[in-house]
Chains A and B, each alone.
Chain A
């Protein structure tokens, strides 16, 4: 197996794919959005609940997807809990930039834990959308609060 391929399918990614964190429907929820990749038909729904202070206290996902999109969604749910909406928006932007831009990432991957394992996707242009799917979905969820809030 090539080095790039082992970088993409690291144990951390395979682990999150097999045993994702927070893979469940949230009901009730404060935010919900669906991420859909029309090219491959993959679909991920992201749910979040907010506490009274404008922080997300729970983020979950369900859906059909490849190892990369599932691992990314799973990692995402562990990254955003307890942060404010504006912190999360910034975070989403940083992560999407890290995953999709060709330049060396601004993010210090050494301190990013499991998220750093997703960086392997940068060498696989055809798979970047898989990795960013859930992050885009979370962004639409929190941006369309009035549409999706219960």
Chain B
């Protein structure tokens, strides 16, 4: 499974948590869709910040604060480079994907979406890319349109195009489904949306850890993701927005760091990105995110993708062999996420039995209740693979699932 340019053992050795053993069983961490583990270099970067570099940014007239400010600014530049943004001003630090979507809904959305217009979503969205729009739609009197999936879990592109119209103000869709693993043809979707004059927002939470993202090539207006699914700390996330849109957006939260001049008569605001980062930001999170991006940059992303694809193929093949097991989402080009159900056992029972083998998977609705309803399931079990998973771990997973069948079948 490893190639000359990709040595999974050496990758694993950089993740301290992966050497954990519980009840004599090694940790098999297959919940990477929920969050990824952190390499030592990210842990060290955060730790180094607090031991050697900590100061508040943008205020101090002393060396430590200048250094912290530089690190924070460099982190923004790293992120801009990582997604190929044209300018680091287009990169806003948030708490995560959820806050990024909420920010756009509360600012751009409030100013630009009015009664009679429409918002286009897909049935495979995470709640974070549904509920903010639903709330906005309810308050301004717009309609949500929802694109369905086909039987293999791919987005119904014909319906996507059909549901777009000159009333569509926004098309918001996920890059990779956290349940189905489906990779959406985001560039094509953006083209279709733009042809109707719609603004586009892409939820990249599940995409960024699996391969390069180029926001200028995709040509989207907004792209959002979280650090913690990208080997970085939790509590840090990104909103990429095209400068032209950001500059016209009102502030989100109000307070320090985002103002120009404040008087009791009137306050003026700084431009992006500062306008959207009120208060002291998550400085160590940004630095940790930059460290994760640097770390990923040192790997051969084609080899990583090949490794993950091989794991996905192997695991899908092995799991499909198990009686009564159904995989939700088999679209070509999907990412290494396998949601499955068993005829004989509920996903929660599956997860408990897998946990006793120290195999960590997620069971539940994956914050995608509309998709669950569409699939006719109340929940699924989900194994999501990352860069550090191995063929041996796939074997552990399959053996544990077979044990479930033995017990419940």
Residues of chain A whose beta carbon lies under 8 Å from any beta carbon of chain B: 1-2, 4-5, 8-9, 14, 39-43, 64-68, 124, 126-127, 130
In the complex, B309 has a CB within 8 A of chain A: no
The binding surface of chain A is classed by DSSP as mixed
A8, A9, A14, A43 interface centre (most CB from chain B within 10 Å): A9
Q: Kindly list chain B residues whose C-beta atoms are within 8 Å of the C-beta of A124.
A: 352
Interchain CB contact under 8 A, A130 and B348: yes
Interchain CB contact under 8 A, A8 and B378: no
**Range of interface residues on chain B?**
20 to 34
Question: Could you list 13 examples of A-B contacts with CB < 8 Å?
Answer: A1-B407, A2-B356, A9-B349, A9-B353, A40-B348, A40-B363, A40-B365, A43-B378, A64-B378, A65-B346, A67-B345, A127-B352, A130-B348
**Closest 6 interchain pairs by CB?**
A66-B348, A66-B346, A41-B365, A64-B378, A40-B364, A5-B356
- A98-B40 Cα distance, complex, nearest whole Å: 42
Say yes or no: A67-B408 contact (C-beta < 8 A), given A40-B365, A41-B365, A127-B352: yes
Interchain CB contact under 8 A, B403 and A1: yes
B376-409 vs A, Cβ < 8 Å mask (1 yes, 0 no): 0011000000000000000000000001000110
In the complex, B102 has a CB within 8 A of chain A: no
Residues of chain B whose beta carbon lies under 8 Å from any beta carbon of chain A: 23, 345-349, 352-353, 355-356, 363-365, 369, 372, 378-379, 403, 407-408
- A20-B363 Cα distance, complex, nearest whole Å: 23
- A130-B379 Cα distance, complex, nearest whole Å: 14
Interchain CB contact under 8 A, A14 and B364: no
Which one, A14, A39, A41, A130, contacts B407 given CB within 8 A? A14
Interchain CB contact under 8 A, A2 and B23: yes
Interchain CB contact under 8 A, A8 and B346: no
Q: Kindly list chain A residues whose C-beta atoms are within 8 Å of the C-beta of B356.
A: 1-2, 4-5
- A4-B363 Cα distance, complex, nearest whole Å: 20
Q: Kindly list chain B residues whose C-beta atoms are within 8 Å of the C-beta of A1.
A: 353, 356, 403, 407
B380 CB to closest chain A CB (Å) equals 10
B346, B353, B408 interface centre (most CB from chain A within 10 Å): B346
- A101-B48 Cα distance, complex, nearest whole Å: 41
